[in-house]
Structure 1
Amino acid sequence: MTTLDLAVALVGFLTSALSGAAGLGGGTILIGVFYALGMPPSEAVPLFAAVQFVSNSSRTVAYIRDVEWSAAGWFLLAGIPATLLVAPFVGRVDTDTVKLVLAGLILASLVPQASTRPTPARPAFALAGALNGSLGLFVGATGLFVGRLFFRPDWRKETVIGTLAMTQMLGHGLRVLAYGLVGFSALAAPQRLLPLCAAVIAGTLFGKRLNGRISERAFARLFRVVLITLSLKLIWDAMRGYGWI
């Protein structure tokens, strides 16, 4: 195991702890780090999908009593066909384009939500599945923009975290299978995958203990700084890749 593999595992622990405490956000940072390290989508996204499948599985178990199970059916109803239809095109994506799209999604997620009525539950869960199965195949992380569809006014915070974890687990599992069908194996780098999986399980347990013990205001500020910094790094790398700077 190289120093880089250890560093990636440490990032996996920290980002999984973030998701364990807040419900989302850690995955977006992790895939952003993969791209910032220079991994192409064909390597970064299958690895990320496998790791996040493990991470979200452990988070689902941690919040199993709070999961809203009816959301899974509507999520899969759109997620399965979307994943199968889009999977054959994942090998054609340009790395720099993916970086720009991911940076844009990160910045868009930081824009305050308008105080409008939420999307009805069933269409919201189906839309989440469609986004996971289409856009998620290219950018990897979908929690920050799909997660908004799971903030239901009648749900407790724990219900949001558990249900989002469950549907993200399903989405990443579908992606692992889809990548395998088109020749991108999540097991191509086991020396990096296995420590990452162990790290995200430990991070989830640590994040679960932190939940409710940290200041939401301080957490939100740090979270925004990290995401803005990461998105600017992705934009910089993409611009360099395109030869614009």
Structure 2
Amino acid sequence: MADMLFTLPEGLTLASFWGLMGVSFIASLITAALGIGGGALLLAVMASLVPPAALIPVHGAVQLASNAGRMGLMFEHVHWPALKGFALGSAIGAVLGGLVAVELPPWIIQLAVGLFVIWSVFAHPPKWLSRFPVLTGGISSFLTMFFGATGLFVAGYTKAQNLPRHGHVATHAALMTLQHSLKVVVFGILGFAFGAWLWVVVALSIAGFLGTATGRMVLGRMSDAGFRRALDILLVLIALRLIWSALTG
């Protein structure tokens, strides 16, 4: 049925499309409920189903829509002061990442992000995360041009804001909406043909929005303490997976 409504881009099968629809729903549910994790899950699955040349830009477009929807649903909880310096750094990092001709080895980025996340969970949040948001935005935006799912890195900055669970999720969504917007713009300038993937991005975004709405109901039933504990556990598990992928890859 889907192939009658639109033409699937080259390299994507109908079975893969429906699989991505389900993963997009689950990934957004996880992120809405826990604040993090869905982007990395979606990227991991897309890496085996989407052509390599389209992986990072298409993932960025889907994550843009997903985070924008989550931010819209929780708009009143966004901690706007966190976006000021972060926005400037993100713009600089995205431009620099787009200008870099040599792609960084993925395993180096995976290892660095994984170790950083574990450090941020078991140690006190690094002070420079809250003191130097420009640097945080710049580094994470630069990395997202090569790695895709840097929500884990940005989660460390969001955690340093010491926000309640709704504020944490909403603010993280706003930060990632900004970052993915810049990434999509830069990839567009570099010549990626988003038009061929438009209907796929729209469909996955709709599935993601439904997952966000479901996850928001789950979030409303969690206590602050339960949220923090679940967030830390999920961060460690994903970080260990990143480190394992780096060492075995």
TM-score, length basis structure 2: 0.80
Which AA in structure 1 matches 2:17? D
CA contact 2:57–2:187 (8 Å) conserved in 1: yes
**Contiguous gaps of at least 5 residues in structure 2:** 3-13
Distance 1:231 1:200, change over 3 A: farther
Which AA in structure 1 matches 2:92? P
CA contact 1:21–1:210 (8 Å) conserved in 2: yes
Distance 1:132 1:187, change over 3 A: farther
Distance 1:84 1:34, change over 3 A: same
Which structure 2 residues correspond to residues 219-234 of structure 1 after superposition, within 5 A? 228=240, 232=244
Which AA in structure 2 matches 1:211? L
Deviation at 1:18, TM superposition (A): 0.5
Q: State the match for 1:207 in structure 2.
A: 215
CA distance in 1, matches of 2:231, 2:156: 18
Residues 1:119 and 2:140 aligned together? no
Q: State the match for 2:97 in structure 1.
A: 86
CA distance in 2, matches of 1:48, 1:179: 12
**Contiguous gaps of at least 5 residues in structure 1:** 240-245
Deviation at 1:93, TM superposition (A): 2.5
Which structure 2 residues correspond to residues 66-215 of structure 1 after superposition, within 5 A? 66-89=77-100, 92-93=102-103, 97-98=105-106, 101-102=109-110, 105-106=113-114, 108-111=116-119, 112-115=121-124, 118-119=127-128, 121-123=130-132, 125-152=133-160, 154-213=162-221
Distance 1:24 1:174, change over 3 A: same
User: CA deviation digits over 1:125-147, x for unaligned, max 9?
Assistant: 22231123211111011111221
CA distance in 2, matches of 1:160, 1:72: 13
CA contact 1:55–1:197 (8 Å) conserved in 2: yes
Structure 1 consecutive aligned stretches of length 4 or more whose deviation exceeds 6 Å: none
Distance 1:24 1:52, change over 3 A: same
Residues 1:49 and 2:57 aligned together? no
CA distance in 2, matches of 1:98, 1:55: 24
CA contact 1:35–1:44 (8 Å) conserved in 2: yes
Residues 1:24 and 2:36 aligned together? yes
Which AA in structure 1 matches 2:99? P
Q: Percent of aligned positions with the same letter in both sequences? A: 26
CA distance in 1, matches of 2:173, 2:200: 23
